[in-house]
C-alpha cells in the first residue's frame, strides 16, 4: 500500500539488510537461519514506494564476514547508500580501508543470545581500537538485559556507538523498567546514538505497534540529535509479522514533530554516515 506519511527529502533508512541473491552471494556456512533472497532490487523497490532516498545497509549475519552483497548494493547506489560491516580478526588495516572506500562507516557487534554469535569482550575491544582511526562507529545489537550487564563496557567506549532497536526492551515492562532507564542513561552521553527502529520487536501488543511509541518518544526527547530510524527490512526473526513497511513509516509522525523528524530522518544520519 502507499504510505499515508511522506518522509522529507533526503530521508534515510538507517537500518536494513540484504539477503543474496544466494546464487551470486552465497550464504555463510553455519548461519543461524536461511532466508529467501531479498537483494538490492527489492530494497530499491521498497524505497521507491515509501519515498526513502538514502540507506544504511547493515551486513546480514547470514552472509557472515563476506560483505560482498552489501558492498555491491552500495556501489550501485550513486552515493545514496552506506554500510555497516561484520568483520573478524583477519581484517587488517588494509582490509578495513577497502571497506571504508566501499562506503562502510561502522562495524556491528551482535550480543543477542539467540543468534549464537556473541563476541567475546577481547575481540570487541580489539576491533573498536582498530576502527577508531577510520572515524567509524560501533553498532551494538543486544538484548535488553545486556544494557545492564554491559554497562561498564559501554561506559568505556570513546568512539561513537549506536544501540539497535531501542535496546530491544519489552514494551510490557514500561518506560520505568531498569533496562530502559539504563538505555536513557547511555543516550545522554555525547558519543551514544540509538535507533528508534524495531517497533515490532519492542511491541508486546502487536500491530500497529503503538505500545512502542512511548519508548521512541523518550529516546528522541533524551537525544534529539543522536537518534536514527530504520525499517529493519527484510525483518529477520520477527517477534511480530510486519505485513507492510509502510505501517512502520506511519509511526514516525506519532514519534516527533516535523523538526524532530527532519533530524531523525535526514540531518542525524547525514552527520553520522557522511552523506
- Name the residues annotated as catalytic: 232
Sheet holding 192-195, edge to edge: 12-16, 54-58, 81-85, 104-110, 137-141, 161-163, 192-195, 227-228
CB neighbour list of residue 23: distance below 8 Å, 6 or more residues apart:
none
Q: Quick one: how far is CA 52 from the chain centroid?
A: 16
Cell 506519511 belongs to which residue? Answer: 5
Amino acid at each position: 500500500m502507499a504510505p499515508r506519511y511522506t518522509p522529507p527529502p533526503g530521508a534515510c533508512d538507517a537500518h536494513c539488510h540484504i539477503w543474496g541473491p544466494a546464487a551470486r552471494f552465497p550464504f555463510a556456512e553455519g548461519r543461524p537461519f536461511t532466508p529467501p533472497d531479498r537483494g538490492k532490487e527489492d530494497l530499491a523497490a521498497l524505497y521507491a514506494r515509501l519515498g526513502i532516498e538514502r540507506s544504511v545497509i547493515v551486513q546480514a549475519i547470514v552472509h557472515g564476514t563476506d560483505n560482498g552483497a552489501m558492498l555491491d548494493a552500495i556501489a550501485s547506489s550513486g552515493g545514496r547508500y552506506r554500510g555497516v560491516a561484520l568483520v573478524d580478526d583477519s581484517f587488517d588495516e588494509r582490509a578495513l580501508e577497502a571497506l571504508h572506500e566501499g562506503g562502510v562507516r561502522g562495524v556491528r557487534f551482535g550480543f543477542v543470545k539467540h543468534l549464537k554469535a556473541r563476541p567475546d569482550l577481547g575481540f570487541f575491544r580489539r576491533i573498536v581500537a582498530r576502527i577508531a582511526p577510520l572515524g567509524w562507529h560501533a553498532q551494538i545489537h543486544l538484548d535488553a538485559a545486556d544494557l545492564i550487564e554491559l554497562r561498564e563496557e559501554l561506559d568505556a567506549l570513546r568512539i561513537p556507538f549506536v544501540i539497535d532497536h531501542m535496546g530491544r526492551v519489552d514494551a510490557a515492562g514500561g518506560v520505568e523498567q531498569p533496562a530502559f532507564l539504563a538505555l536513557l542513561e547511555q543516550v545522554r552521553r555525547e558519543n551514544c546514538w540509538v535507533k528508534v527502529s524495531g517497533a515490532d520487536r519492542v511491541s508486546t501488543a502487536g500491530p500497529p505497534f503503538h505500545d512502542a511509541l512511548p519508548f521512541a518518544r523518550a529516546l528522541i526527547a533524551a537525544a534529539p540529535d543522536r537518534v536514527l530510524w530504520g525499517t529493519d527490512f527484510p525483518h529477520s526473526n520477527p517477534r511480530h509479522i510486519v505485513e507492510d513497511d509502510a505501517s512502520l513509516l506511519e509511526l514516525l509522525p506519532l514519534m516527533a514533530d516535523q523538526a524532530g523528524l527532519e533530524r531523525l530522518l535526514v540531518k542525524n544520519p547525514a552527520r553520522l554516515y557522511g552523506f
